[in-house]
Amino acid sequence: MTHNEERTHWIKEGVIGLGVGVLYGLTNVCVGHPFDTLKTKMQAEAGFEKTNMVQTFVKTLKQQGLKGLYRGCIPPLWGSGIYRSAQFAVFEALYTQQDNRIGKYELPGTGGLQLRVLTAGACASTVRAVIETPLEYAKVRGQTSQKWQLSKVYTGFGVTWCRTMGLMCTFFILVDSGRRHFPEHFKRPLLGPFLTSGIAATLAWWIVWPLEYMKCQVQCDYGQKVSVVQRMRNVIRERGGFFALYRGLMPGTIRSFLANGTSMVVMVTAQRKVSEWGLRGN
C-alpha cells in the first residue's frame, strides 16, 4: 500500500518492509530530531512552559549549544529503525496477505477504502507501541535532562498506544487514498512521495496531538501522580483552555512534514531498487 511495486508473497513483502522501514526510521530521526527536541521542551521541561518555538530554540542553544538539539537522539536513532521497520513490515505483510474478498471489501462512504488497510494498520500500530514506548521514555527523559529507570520504561504505554493507533491508522488511510486517487503523482521520484507522506503524517499528528502532549507529560513526570484525564483537565484549566493541549504544535508540524516526507522518498526509492535488482522475484 505504501508503494506501487508489483507485490509477491506476503511474507516476502513483510521482509522487504522490514528492510526499507529501517531506512525510513533512520532518515526520520536524522532530519526531525532537533524539532522534536524543541517540541518536547515546550511540552514537558520546567522553564520552557511559556516560551514559543523561537525562544525555546535560542534558549536551548545558549544553555546547551547545538548538541542540545540532539539530546536524547541515541535511543530513537536506533530505536526508530526498529519500530518503524516492524511497523511497515507488519502492515505490508498483512495488507498483502489479506488480498481476498474480505480484506478488499470497500467500506461504504469512504471513497474506496478497503478493510485490510484498517486491520493491517491496527496491528502495525500495536506492534509499534510495544517497541516504541521504552524508547520514547528514554528519549523524553534525555531531552529533559533526567535519568531514566529500567523498571519504568513502559511508563505511558496506554496513552502511547492510543496515540499510535490514531496516528498510524490515519497515516495509512491518507497514504492509501493519495496512492489510489493520485497514482501518477505518487510515482514521481521526489515530489509525489514527499508531499503524500509529509501531508498525511502532519494531518495525523494534528489529530492525535493532545495525546502526544500527554505522553510527554506522563513520561517526563515531575512528580505528578495523576491520571492522563486529570492531566488534560489540569492543562486546560491552568494553561488557557483546550488549545493549550496543542502546545509545541509548530515544531512538531515542521518535524513531521520534513522528516516523514524525506523518509518516504528514501523508502519508495528503496522499494523501487528492490524490484529493479530482482529481489522480489515471482
Sign of the torsion angle spanned by Cα atoms 157, 82, 98, 169: positive
Which amino acid type is present at position 200?
A
Q: What is the CATH number of domain 10-276?
A: 1.50.40.10
Model confidence over 234-250: pLDDT tens digits? 888 887 888 888 988 99
Q: Say which residue the cell 481476498 belongs to.
A: 100
Which amino acid type is present at position 39?
K
Mean of pLDDT values over 181-191: 70
What span, in angstroms and rounded, lies between the C-alpha atoms of 208 and 245? 10
- Count other Cβ atoms within 10 Å, centred on residue 165: 19
DSSP letter, residue 223: S
Model confidence over 74-109: pLDDT tens digits? 877 777 888 999 999 999 999 999 999 999 999 999
Cα three-residue angle 91-96-102, rounded to 5 degrees: 100
Contact 20, 56 (CB under 8 A): no
Q: Given a cut of 70, is residue 223 above it in pLDDT?
A: no
pTM of the model: 0.84
* DSSP three-state, residue 237: helix
